[in-house]
A and B are shown apart, each in its own frame.
Chain A
Amino acid sequence: MDVEIIELSDDNARFVLTGVNPAIANGLRKSMLSEVPTMAIDYINIYDNTSVLFDEQIGLRMGLIPIITDLDSYVLSEDCDCNDEGCTKCQLTLTLSAEGPVMVYSGDIQSSDPNVSVADEKVPIVELKERQKLVLEAVAKLGTGRKHVKYQAGVACGYKNVPVITFQDTCDACGKCVDECPKEILRIDGDKVTVTDPLKCILCRLCVDACDIKAISLEEDDSSFIFTAESDGSYPAKELIVQSADTIIEKAKLLNEILESIE
């Protein structure tokens, strides 16, 4: 297995994964989407709400705000010693207090833990007009994307096979495929056609169809994948990928233990 990073920023990663079978690639993708524990608001206690939105609507909007996840300080509530009663190890309290006229953003939420706060400060919650008030307390917990979409740290995770474009010797460099390619990655190089950046190919097969003498073959490499992973901000993209791989390892260990206990 080999990983080659194409692009890596705080909330975005693009890399080529080679030497694995599709099941592992898909496992990694699904793990990013639904298995990595992520912090999100579980319920809110509303003290006052004279805004135009119903309490339930405010609840929904609060739930979808991404919160920075700190797995060293918090555990999943079902794994906590407090038996899901709620303690400082499995839940985080946040407060929000605003009086109009003001636009209330996620950045106005005050966290009781200085290390953990909202990931994005510019998520609009509600616009308050004069004399309107919103006072609430929110309780955030760890959860996984399988339970609810608000616990989903990876928001745009996917992969495609690495394209393999080959030209036969019969190619006469007529240039039809070059004109047809929507990504403009084909180039005439003397009496041959070359591919400038195969990773940009979207496997549309327009070049194959354009070739009258069938000199182009486009195949997918079954063991190489171009991965795209985007985080909602609760994890840096790199950590999200590492966490998803760790989750698979944990599950594999558990399966191993179960199988060993049967023998």
Chain B
Amino acid sequence: MAYLCTRCKHSVEIDYEVMGIRCPYCGHRILIKERPTLIKKVEAV
């Protein structure tokens, strides 16, 4: 799963069981999950 670092804007691959939540490029600990590119179907109700 690819995340986006909010400081250096790098796309980072995280295996949180091994290294915890931290950007490997800048060390920032706030990462955001990006919206997947696939089309999402939503019922209009």
Chain A interface residues toward B at CB < 8 A: 40-50, 55-56, 58-60, 62-63, 138, 148, 150
Contact = CB atoms under 8 A, between A and B. Distances in A.
A55 B45 contact: no
B33 interface: no
B44 A45 contact: no
B42 A148 contact: no
A60 B44 contact: yes
A150 B40 contact: no
B41 A45 contact: yes
Contacts, number: 40
Given A46-B40, A46-B42, 12 more contacts: A42-B43, A43-B41, A43-B43, A44-B41, A45-B39, A45-B41, A46-B39, A58-B42, A59-B43, A62-B44, A148-B45, A150-B45
B45 A59 contact: yes
B45 A44 contact: no
Contact of A42 (B35, B39, B40, B44): B44
A63 B35 contact: no
Contacts of B45: 59-60, 63, 148, 150
